[in-house]
Amino acid sequence: MNMILQFFSAALYIVFVQNLVFSGGYGASEAIRTAARPKQLALFAVMITYFSTTTSLLCRLIWLIPVFKTAGTTIAIVMFVLVLIVVYLITALIILKMLKGAGWRQEEKDKLLRQAGVSAFNTIVLAVPFISQRVAYTVSESIGAGIGAGFAFILATLLIHEGMKKLESNEEIPNCFKGTPAVFIYIALLSMAFTGFSGKTLFF
Amino acid sequence: MKKRDKKDKNENIKKANTIREKPVKEKEQKETSENEAVSFKYELFSEVIVKNPVLVSTIGLCPVVAICTSLKSAVVLSIITYFTMIFSQIISASVLKHCPQWARVALYALSGMAIVAPSMLLLENVLPENMIALGIYLPLLAVNPLITRQCERVAVKSTVKQAFVNAVSCSTGYAAVLIITGFVRELLGSGTLWDYRVFSFPTATALTNPFGGFIVIGFMAAILRWYFKKIDPEYAEDLAVNSRSSIKKPKVKKSQKHKKAHVSSMTYEPQEYLPHQEEVTTQESVQEEIPAEESHQEDEQNLTETFEQALAENTTHIDNSEEQILEIQLEPQIKEIVQEETKANKKIEYTSKELEDLMSKSLEDIIKDTIKETPQEPDADKEVPKQ
């Protein structure tokens, strides 16, 4: 029961209180680019969730080994990156093997693998094991944080997408701010709201 | 004696050829270096202004909004980005060309880590306070999507030299945004610059939060848009339309693309680059997606074609002017060679007696005599006086 509570609390914290995209800027560029093409959101979100959860869990488990516990921050960081690389390569090989006889076209295979690459080597994915290690999350919390990262990304992308649609139809925006500048300012406002949730001092 | 003269003559011809070849080689070298300089200028302007990774392509935002809260952090990040980018691109251009795309992505992260990890160790010893400030964002540079994108789109398709130029240009564009953001946020958010107090008025501490970073880059993007609008309103409008959403992305016909590329090549000026001429290649902004690789490959091809055409024109111009210079420089040597050849032909007409006389003379005397014998032809370059 305690583990389930820990799992949900970590996930909800990452999604709402400390939304990784808005409060930390992790994966912000990918969120903006996915918001411009929402059709890719589902696949992208699933992959981000998968990679962040797997990496976070594996890093947490490795971190339980006494040798790594005493190692410095740099060693830990190198280990996290190596774990992510191994997870990605194994996933890519599995995808290749699965698609071998599935009758997929080469272009489709390449596209899927490219998506996997972009979602795996992303700041939001690598940030989860770092945060887990810093805050000393338990195993269940690490899983919760990994899944929460995926949902935080979905929430951020959907909010940005909605904002983009509104900004697109708004003719009162000054010409110089149309497009990317307006999107940045809009994200700044959302980010301000989420920072407010975390209890930080906003002004003065 | 005869052999010796022949040998001397051959040597003279060789010398003449060397003198003739030397300026050609110099010309080629000069041409190459000029082309490289133009190419670098072009690449630099394109990556820093027209295709700025942060303000136009919205890539690599995480470090900009999260940790660029001071000038010092921004400078440290910029330096590490330079090294990481250059190293990754050189590795990609030299070693990873034959790797499958899915494996390359992992290797980019590894090469990034090869630079970031030693940098962290160095910072821990040299600037421990800065290392704490950079926190977990510094190691995240290893998986910066900007590095992955540049390696995948540029480095693996080009030579090491081209990859290096692109890495330097792109890093400069990124570093420019990092440094300006750090400068503004430190000044207005903390009232300091490089940790020295500048003013004691109430500061907007909110700017040190990530949303402050978004606000600053939002205004910077608007300033850049204003600049585009000033130099090319059409390009600015296209950028605004395309960055709003990809849902209504206008499709540019291929023929139009080529037409535009041609127009750009016709008016190419390295110092006064007009972004609109590259509109097809720079419609990246928000909807610039890695899945949309095909369209980008086309764009990049256009960009390359445009640039090559422009360079060709530029080179032709250089050719014309330099050929004239070369002709002027070579004139005495050419004349010498022609004279020597005339002498050689004349020699066949000599009788055996004359040949014996000639044998007894030195080569210099022979040349002198021949010049005396040769009637001076009217100089073709000289103007004929009007009657």
> B233 touching A, CB under 8 A?
no
The per-residue pLDDT for B288 is 43
What are B145's two structure tokens?
Answer: 């999507």
A residues 28-87 lying closer than 8 A (beta carbon) to B:
28-30, 32-33, 35-37, 40, 73-74, 77-78, 80-81, 84-85
pLDDT digit string, tens, across residues A155-191: 999 999 999 999 988 888 888 898 899 999 999 999 9
Would the CB atoms of A32 and B61 count as touching at under 8 Å?
Answer: yes
Q: Which of B60, B229, B291 is opposite residue A175, by nearest beta carbon?
A: B229
| Exposure b/e, B133-166, CB count within 10 A at least 16 = b | bbebbbbbbbbbbbbbbbbbbbbbebeeebbbbb
- Give the residue-averaged pLDDT of A94-114: 83
Nearest-Cα residue of chain B relative to residue A82:
B110
Chain A residues touching residue B141 (CB < 8 angstroms): none
pLDDT digit string, tens, across residues B231-267: 877 776 666 655 544 434 444 444 444 444 333 333 3
Would the CB atoms of B215 and A184 count as touching at under 8 Å?
Answer: yes
Q: Write the CB contacts of B174 (distance below 8 Å, at least 6 apart in sequence).
A: B53, B54, B60, B78, B81, B85, B146
Q: Is the pLDDT score of B352 beyond 70?
A: no
Q: Write the CB contacts of B214 (distance below 8 Å, at least 6 apart in sequence).
A: A25, A184, A185, A187, A188, A191, B65
| Exposure b/e, A166-196, CB count within 10 A at least 16 = b | ebbeeeebeebbbbbbbbbbbbbebbbebbe
Distance from CA of B147 to the nearest CA of A (A): 11
Q: Is the pLDDT score of A109 beyond 90?
A: no
Q: Which of A28, A35, A165 is opposite residue B65, by nearest beta carbon?
A: A28
When pLDDT is cut at 50, 70 and 90, the band that residue B28 belongs to is low
Report the alpha-carbon angle A111-A122-B149, nearest 5: 60
For A71, the 3-state DSSP assignment is coil
Tell me the pTM.
0.70
Q: Is the pLDDT score of B222 beyond 90?
A: yes
A residues 143-202 lying closer than 8 A (beta carbon) to B:
164-165, 167-168, 174-185, 187-189, 191-192, 195, 200-202
- Give the residue-averaged pLDDT of B81-101: 91
Separation CA B281–CA B297 (nearest Å): 9
pLDDT digit string, tens, across residues A41-74: 999 999 999 999 999 999 988 888 887 777 777 8
**By the 8 A CB rule, do B91 and B158 touch?**
no
The per-residue pLDDT for A104 is 78
